[in-house]
Amino acid sequence: MEKYTPTWPVIGHATVVAALRRHVMKGSIGHAYLLHGPRQIGKTTVAEQFAAALLCSVQERAIACDECQSCRQRAAGVHPDFHILLPTVNSETTFGRPIITLEQVRQLQAALSHRPVLARRQVAIIVGGDSLQDKAANALLKTLEEPSGNTVLVLTCDALEQLPLTVRSRCRQLRLSTVATAAIFDALRAGGSSPSVARQIAALSAGRPGRALQFLHSSDQREAYVAGLKDFGRLASGTLSERLAAANALQQRLSAADDASLAEGLRQQLELWQTAARDRLLNAAGCPHLCQWTVEDTAGSSPAQWRFFLDTLRDVRAALGLNASPRLALEVLLLSLPR
């Protein structure tokens, strides 16, 4: 029987978790870390477990005990030495893209200037470092350039290239990749899901544990995702008039929303299309067994066409990250769909 080795409660990412635990156990803790990789992959979960291990007063083998005063206060969200910055949508936001403002960074810096109260050090997680406004990133540089001896910053980001190089270069960078479907299936089964539900959710999650948990907790969102995949099928395989009708319906649905929910809706839609288009590329290339989702007939479209669509999709997603208009982005994409 395999020996049970305790570790952090994280789905996948064994190499990154092992590296961070080694830093804690050896006491060779950096002043700043950057966890990067796709959305919903578990970056914040890993960052939180790292913070928990750093703050726990009795941790053994770099695992938080969950029982000491430090662990209890952190779990209750009232630890004086633990800080978390989240991007928000506010008056300075364009097209609903959440941002981290200069004011947020200044408040964090003020908090970090005090000595730790309960733990040996202060720990701050900055979720979505790629949402830092330029002024905020510049201000943060000061903390990164002149770190105090007892603070640890952990940044997460989806799009590494959108974080200034000056910030990136001052962090220890760790990349998180998509997690094996089997590992997500096992985690869902261990959590009590039936084999059929676990299999469907694991397949739909596209290697993202965060998405798997989202679908586990909301069957509405799961069904909407499946419906979205089917819509994409109709969009991709329909006649020109069917395609235009589907595009119109989608535009109307999206334009009924305000800019913030439009941008978020579009981001989710594009991720879904990426999954669906990648499946069609695999199917057209003769590898249907690698598809995440059952693909209807893709006769008439070539792998090159789907590759072109995926390239356009990637460019459009990058442009959206740089505040391009969601409506314009949608039009560009619909024009590049294979016929």
68 is a contact residue toward Zn ion (CB under 5 A)? yes
User: Going by C-beta distance under 8 Å and a sequence separation of 6 or more, which residues neighbour residue 158?
Assistant: 36, 37, 38, 39, 128, 130
Instruction: Count residues binding Zn ion (CB under 5 A).
Output: 4
CB of 94 to Zn ion, least distance (A): 42
118 is a contact residue toward Zn ion (CB under 5 A)? no
Of 76, 71, 139, the closest CA to residue 110 belongs to 139
User: Going by C-beta distance under 8 Å and a sequence separation of 6 or more, which residues neighbour residue 210?
Assistant: 39, 40, 41, 42, 45
Report the SS3 class of residue 172: strand
CA separation for the pair 206, 212 (Å, rounded): 9
Report the SS3 class of residue 39: coil
DSSP 160: G
Minimum CB distance to Zn ion smaller for 51 or for 112: 51
Q: Identity (one letter) of the amino acid at 23?
A: H
**From candidates 25, 65, 246, 257, binder to Zn ion by CB under 5 A:** 65
CB of 22 to Zn ion, least distance (A): 19
Minimum CB distance to Zn ion smaller for 56 or for 99: 56
Stretch that binds Zn ion, among 64-72, 179-187, 237-245, 329-337 (CB under 5 A): 64-72
Task: Provide the b/e sequence for 236-255 (b: ≥16 CB within 10 Å).
Answer: bbbeeeebeebbeebeeebe
CB of 91 to Zn ion, least distance (A): 40
Residues 225-264, interacting with Zn ion (CB under 5 A): none
CB 63 within 8 A of CB 53: yes
CB of 79 to Zn ion, least distance (A): 11
Stretch that binds Zn ion, among 68-76, 144-152, 203-211, 251-259 (CB under 5 A): 68-76
Minimum CB distance to Zn ion smaller for 117 or for 290: 117
CB of 23 to Zn ion, least distance (A): 18
User: Going by C-beta distance under 8 Å and a sequence separation of 6 or more, which residues neighbour residue 134?
Assistant: 164
Which strand ranges, in their side-by-side order, compose the sheet holding 82-85? 82-85, 122-126, 151-157, 32-36, 172-175
203 is a contact residue toward Zn ion (CB under 5 A)? no
Query: Could you tell me the two tokens for 130?
Result: 């790629």
Residues 70-109, interacting with Zn ion (CB under 5 A): 71
Minimum CB distance to Zn ion smaller for 56 or for 250: 56
Minimum CB distance to Zn ion smaller for 72 or for 314: 72
Minimum CB distance to Zn ion smaller for 65 or for 245: 65
CB of 119 to Zn ion, least distance (A): 9
CB of 68 to Zn ion, least distance (A): 3
Residues 33-62, interacting with Zn ion (CB under 5 A): 56
Which residues in this chain contact Zn ion in the complex, by CB under 5 A?
Answer: 56, 65, 68, 71
